[in-house]
């Protein structure tokens, strides 16, 4: 009787494993999860234009990245926005200086 239980248990484990191996990728593509954008996805031209429209600093950094043939990613745009906000805040201190 215990061998029947072990056999049945093994069959269930193998069934679950096969279901996970086959069903996982199908669910991933079927539910559209493969199309979700992540921070490591390449930025679209519209996203890059929006970032460069906001500041000269961002424009300069992203143009330099483009010239050196670097792939601009969404996380790069976030970094550029943070960095340029700091630089532009510091630049305000020099506006009154001769």
Torsion angle (degrees, nearest 10) of CA 21, 26, 31, 32 = 110
- Is the Cβ–Cβ distance between 81 and 54 less than 8 Å? yes
Instruction: Supply the pLDDT for residue 55.
Output: 86
Q: How many domains does the chain have?
A: 2
- Residue 46 confidence (pLDDT): 93
Task: Find the domain containing 25 and state its range.
Answer: 2-35
What is the tens place of the pLDDT at every residue in 46-83?
999 998 887 889 999 999 999 998 899 989 999 999 99
Classify residue 40: in a domain, yes or no. no
Pair 78, 53 in one domain: yes
Q: Could you tell me if residue 81 is inside a domain?
A: yes
């Amino acid at each position: 009787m215990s061998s029947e239980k072990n056999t049945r248990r093994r069959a269930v484990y193998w069934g679950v494993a096969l279901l996970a191996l086959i069903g996982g990728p199908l669910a991933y593509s079927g539910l559209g999860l493969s199309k979700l954008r992540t921070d490591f996805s390449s930025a679209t031209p519209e996203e890059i234009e929006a970032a460069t429209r906001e500041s000269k600093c961002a424009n300069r950094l992203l143009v330099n990245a483009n010239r050196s043939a670097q792939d601009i990613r969404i996380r790069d745009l976030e970094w550029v926005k943070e960095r340029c906000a700091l630089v532009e805040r510091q630049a305000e201190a020099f506006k009154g200086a001769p």
